[in-house]
Chain A
């Protein structure tokens, strides 16, 4: 194992939520791979993505849960709110229903995450200006009323995607600096220095087995 994978000082956990089809998986993919997936299948349960970013000269690893918007996975996805330091709440600017559901998403987020979780509202698909169904202003007002950060973005063109993820990280980092975020709380969604592999939940007793096979095979 290279030590290179540990060249970051924090892990921030994110969760991306919102109705199905609003483009959550596309946003994640755009952020991690810098590519747009035109034909993205519905997410089954959760998907996972990571990327190392830099905030204030600190390397931070983002571990991002992309959740399924489909109702039937709501119970499955709830597990992933708890440890989130950042929540990206996404709606589709061309579908008002997805905007209308935001309050219910917000309620879920507020109850399942801890108070210091940074919530960022993203109005996705802003490239489809012609089909706009939700104005910027009303969404902005909603965000302000609820103390959320907000941008309109496009997973297709990549517009504001980077900004949304990075801005969230900056806000989290700021909370750490301000001492508002307790790093030791299990549910802060932030780990200072990466854990040793298998440190907490995945069986330490398996550790010694790792690579045994490879060692003798070489």
Chain B
């Protein structure tokens, strides 16, 4: 034996022996099955067992096969169905796929259309709004331009609303421009410009026509607003204004002539020319009328342009008012000329001059830079000239004949007359405007010829009379001039001339005094110191000196008696006093010399105090008090 074979067998045996069938379920099941058909353990049975089992197995398999064949057939049918179904489904799927694709496009379109529709709606709203905002309605166009067929000339308030709209659109276009709608904006702007020009043109014609016919300016809202609109077109604006002015110019001139020649309704107030014989009243009435009428014109003009921008208008309005006033210039000038040419009295001419000045200024505050101002200026200058000429004439006429001064050496009647004329003129002039120049001119006009006349008259008198007469005239003139301002130059001259005359008279009076008191020889001796003691000189004896003292006493007791008779004719007490005082001063000076001489022991006077008892100081007190 081979050990190995032995070993495998033992192992198998062991394995079988070791197997525990009670624990093997499969074996148990198999055994259970076996028990159903294997009832007796015989050899036959054992021999048959195998085939029995195989038979049994075949039977089972056959059964199984049959069963499966059925199942297979069923399955085959099912399969067939499924295949068919699958095919159908496939077809359907394809169909569906197609359908689905088609629907998507449709939806897409619908959506697009919807979107577009919304957009279009928007656009329409915008367009509508835009049109409303940037275009005129046909009605508005008609309001603006009038109906084409009817050649509409009347305008209504609405035109201003539309015009405003046009302007607003035009202005709004600037925003459009910025928003890059340039072409559109420019187009609309052009369009609006055309509208505006058209409308303004229409307003212009209308206003011009309106202004051509204003007799009594009561302006409607319409015309003032039209003017307000037209202000943007200076040329048109000015044309309308010109039309207005020329209309008013005519009316005003007519009214002026009426006021002059016809007066108010049914002669009340009376025509100004009724009183043409009185230059002052006549010119006053004329100028008062102007001074009243022109402010009314100015007010009306202001009303006409009340809606306009006033700042730019000042010059134009000034010009317009000046224009309106032009019509009255000629009739005015003719009348003033007439007044100036007929009046002869200087004082009336001066009053007329001042009236012209006053009203020229007053009117000049209302209207400037026009013909009227020029005419008034010319009239003023002319009036001033004529006045001065008349004054000169009046002075010359008064002085044409050289009068002899009266005995009392007071100013002659013509000098007197001229001085009172001067006083009157100066007193009027001192209250007028620009009085300084007037007063100086008036004084010039009167004083110089007057002084010449005084010189002429005085030249025919003896020296003392001459000086007294001259001084009296100077004094009278001074009294007049010193009441007024601006006469310093003349007064300085009068002063100097008077001083000269006073000096002359002082010298005359002093010589006269010295002569009357026989002081002449004494004075001469006193000047000469070559004689030895005074007491031994003839004429200087105490007796002679006492003689002099006697005369001196009478002078002291009645100082006025020693005056030259003419000195008493001096009109000014001051002049008189000055001359007297200065003459006495001469006397005193000589007395002082004499007194000192007498009291000087060298001169050997005995008891000098008994000869000259008055000290020079005493004498001075007596004479000068």
Contact = CB atoms under 8 A, between A and B. Distances in A.
Contact of B459 (A5, A63, A72, A207): A72
Nearest to A215: B485
A69 B71 CA distance: 183
Contacts of B427: 213
A211 B483 contact: yes
Interface in B454-503: 454-456, 458-459, 463, 466-467, 470, 474-475, 478-479, 482-485, 488-489, 491-503
Contact of A203 (B452, B478, B497): B478
B574 interface: yes
A47 to B, nearest CB: 8
B507 interface: yes
Contacts of B495: 197-198, 201-202
Contacts of B430: 213-214, 217
Nearest to B575: A201
A45 B493 contact: no
A1 B574 CA distance: 23
Contacts of A206: 478-479, 482
B578 A200 contact: yes
A201 B455 contact: no
A79 B478 contact: no
B17 interface: no
Contacts of B458: 45, 76
Contacts of A201: 495, 498-499, 502, 574-575, 578
A24 interface: no
Interface in A14-37: none
Contact of B484 (A200, A202, A214): A214
Contacts of A79: 466-467, 470, 500-501, 503-504
A160 interface: no
B485 A214 contact: yes
A73 B483 contact: no
B298 interface: no
Contact of B475 (A44, A76, A82, A202): A202
B452 to A, nearest CB: 4
A36 to B, nearest CB: 20
Contact of A46 (B483, B485, B492, B497): B497
Contacts of A212: 483
A203 B500 contact: no
A202 B499 CA distance: 8
B43 interface: no
B592 interface: no
Given A45-B455, A76-B466, A217-B430, A82 B503 contact: yes
Given A197-B495, A202-B494, A73 B475 contact: no
B179 interface: no
Interface string B20-45: 00000000000000000000000000
Q: Classify the interface of chain B: helix, strand, loop or mixed.
A: helix
Given A197-B491, A201-B495, A210-B483, A44 B455 contact: yes
A39 interface: no
B483 A75 contact: no
A63 B496 contact: yes
B500 A83 contact: yes
Contacts of B484: 211, 213-214
A149 to B, nearest CB: 24
Given A75-B459, A79-B501, A204 B574 contact: yes
A205 interface: yes
Interface string B425-440: 0010011000000000
A116 interface: no
B455 A209 contact: no
B547 interface: no
Contacts of B506: 186
Contact of B455 (A46, A50, A202): A46
Interface string B227-264: 00000000000000000000000000000000000000
B431 A217 contact: yes
B455 A73 contact: yes
Residue from B430, B453, B482 having most chain A Cβ neighbours under 10 A = B482
A204 B577 CA distance: 12
Nearest to B462: A75
A156 interface: no
B503 to A, nearest CB: 5
Given A44-B452, A48-B493, A200 B502 contact: yes
B581 to A, nearest CB: 11
Interface in B148-171: none
B426 to A, nearest CB: 9
A48 B463 contact: no
A60 to B, nearest CB: 15
Nearest to B481: A210
Residue from A76, A83, A187 having most chain B Cβ neighbours under 10 A = A76
Interface string A175-218: 00000000000110000000001101111111101111110010
15 contacts: A44-B455, A44-B456, A45-B454, A63-B496, A76-B459, A79-B503, A79-B504, A82-B504, A82-B507, A83-B503, A197-B495, A202-B475, A202-B478, A206-B479, A211-B484
**What are the nearest 5 A-B pairs in CB distance?**
A45-B455, A44-B452, A203-B574, A201-B502, A48-B493
